[in-house]
Amino acid sequence: PDAEALLDAAVQLTGEPAQFQSVRDDLEQAYIAAESERILTLTELNALTAVPARYPRRAEEKGLSGWVDVHFTVTPSGETANIAVNAAEPESIFDRAAINAVEQWLFQPVEYRGQVISQRATARLKFELE
């Protein structure tokens, strides 16, 4: 916001907005890049399709429960990409099931400052026997 105020003041002083347009464009791209890298939770996104994870048969047979934290990108089309396991308990047991589920999720595209952007996000998938 301070940078925008300084640009506005410079335009006021010079009376030549075109002279500062490339700086204003760069600033806008910096805002968008920073927002895109901010990690949102599922509650901050609008899920259109949230396919539940399938319980791995071996884990079910052994009576295992656990969770997987995944990070992913919501693309401008609302699909998920760059899915990665951030943490899991127990390790490696539920990872593939979590990734397979997140690959099928679909979100309303994220808008920021009037543009549809890619957005980093995180989710915890819980695996509990009933």
pLDDT tens sequence across 103-123: 999 999 999 999 999 999 999
Tokens of residue 29, six digits: 């791209």
Q: Which residue, chain included where needed, has tokens 């979100």?
A: 107
Give CA separation, 7 vs 13, 19, 114, in Å: 10, 10, 20
Residue 63: enclosing H or E segment and its boundaries? none
Residues forming beta bridges with residue 126, ordered by sequence position: 67
Beta bridge partners of 72: 121
In the predicted model, is pLDDT for residue 124 greater than 80?
yes
Instruction: Give mean pLDDT, residues 50-75.
Output: 96
Helical ranges in 1-130 per DSSP H: 2-14, 21-37, 57-61, 95-103
Strand bridging mode 47-49 / 106-107: antiparallel
